[in-house]
Amino acid sequence: MKRLPFASAVEAAHAISAGDFTAEEFAVELLDRVRNREAKVQAWANLDSDRFLKAARASDLAGESGALRGIPVAIKDVLDTADLPTQYGSPIYRGYRPVADASCVALIRAAGGIIMGKAATTEFATRHPCATRNPHNFAHTPGGSSSGSAAAVADCMVPLALGTQTSGSVIRPAAYCGVIGFKPSYGMINRTGLKYLAESLDTIGIYSRTVGDAGLLWAQLSGNAMPDVRRADMLRPRIGICRTPQWPHAEPETVSLLAAVETRLARAGADISTVELPDVFDDALDSQEAINDFESWRAFAYERLHHAAQLSPALTAKLENAARCTRDRYERAQQTASNCRRQLEAVFDTCDVLVTPAAPGEAPSGMPTGNPIFNQIWTMLRVPCIAVPSGTGPRGLPLGVQVIGRRNADADTLVAAEWIFRVLSPGGCPVPVSTHKAVQ
């Protein structure tokens, strides 16, 4: 039998429903993977093995029929869970237990999914790192802020995980760790129970190892029909290669990657064009940062006024800088954002999706979470973004591209991303070397 922890969520859900194996057997295998790897990867903020196994047994006994029946999901530790601590990556909230699940967590349970544990996050989903390491090379960062979510999925500890993105916190870790990262259109997934960072930017996203798995979880959380990724078989997508005004920040491996990706997609039958963004986008990056600053300074009012000594120096400095953003600057930034969204609509009249860099290059060494400069404007534009593994860099670490779709056209964007994934990653997401043994 195929290794259970390496199976896709869609495959596992079908196998559990068919009685080929149980949710408990799946849980046992995943916990074995965690025992072998977690000491080095450090993907989890809280994982109660006994609670997880009990939930899996209960799922088997109940014979639930939900779309996520028996499927484990990791939850980024900025999303509330009633049965596990929610600590937001901060000592201020050590041991904190919310009285209710976040909406997305409740919906996962209602669909038969099993919450495996809380994935490690940077401090309040900002840039101060947690202990998580890149499973492909422990000397490198997994990216942030959804560090544990990306690493746990990449390391095959769990098939699905939730992350969040305010600047680049879903897409960049996915690219660094070599998995699918899906930031849906803004507001597509309800955010009740999320610790806000910047309320007009924050978006709940998904990690998986296949595009179909991302579509499965997105459908359960958004109320949309599950995208039929088999439609990719009939596509001849119109793809715009968009280097963005941030292109000077691309490292040599990303420059080479995008050129190679363009060639491979064209040879596979895509209708390729080069897309230059209108001049208004020259101010988009500064506007995203202004919006982030103005909203985050207010979002953390309680923490900075009552627990300033427990904030990291990095977050303290960020908030001191954020305090300088005036209401006038914020409103001008929001106007620029509106103008950019309006002009982006015309771009999609000539292409189905855009392909852009997902990150400047490979995951940096050490603990810095990386630069979100290729993600920020797309978050502000509120469009669906999907990180697709696309190769490796000079140090053997994963590289990815970012697939951008029209706002609220998430299902079509997922299908286009499936076509691109098949071309660029025909063997699927890269799996870190391990000693995990198959279940017979």
Q: Distance between CA 371 and CA 359 in Å, rounded?
A: 7
Residue 31 located in a structural domain: yes
Instruction: Say if 391 falls within a structural domain.
Output: yes
Residue 434 falls inside a structural domain: no
Residue 105 covered by a domain: yes
Per-residue confidence (pLDDT) for residue 434, from 0 to 100: 45
> Over the stretch 270-324, which tens digit does the pLDDT of each residue have?
999 999 999 999 999 999 999 999 999 999 999 999 999 999 999 999 999 999 9
- The CATH number of whichever domain residue 267 belongs to comes to 3.90.1300.10
pTM for this model (two decimals): 0.97
Cβ density class 93-115: b for 16+ within 10 Å, e for less: beeeebeebbbbbbbbbebbbbb
Nearest one of 241, 244, 254 to 361, comparing CA atoms: 254
Q: How many domains does the chain have?
A: 1
**Is 329 a member of any domain?**
no
Q: Does residue 1 fall inside a structural domain? A: no
| pLDDT (0 to 100) of residue 3 | 58
Q: Provide φ and ψ at 255, rounded to 5°.
A: -60, -50
Residue 36's identity, in one-letter code, is: N
Is 161 within the bounds of a domain?
Answer: yes
Residues of the chain where predicted confidence (pLDDT) is lower than 70? 1-4, 433-440
Alpha helices in 300-360 (DSSP H): 301-306, 313-322, 327-347
pLDDT of residue 308: 98
**Per-residue model confidence (pLDDT) at position 262:** 98
Domain of 197, in residue numbers: 9-277+343-424
In a domain, 23, yes or no: yes
DSSP state for residue 7 in the 8-state scheme: S
Cα distance between residue 212 and residue 407, in whole Å: 20
What is the C-alpha separation between 251 and 399, in angstroms, rounded?
Answer: 11
Residue 165: its H or E element: strand 160-165
Catalogue the active-site residues. Answer: 76, 145, 169
125-166 confidence digits (pLDDT tens): 999 999 999 999 999 999 999 999 999 999 999 999 999 999
Distance CA 169, CA 403 (A): 15
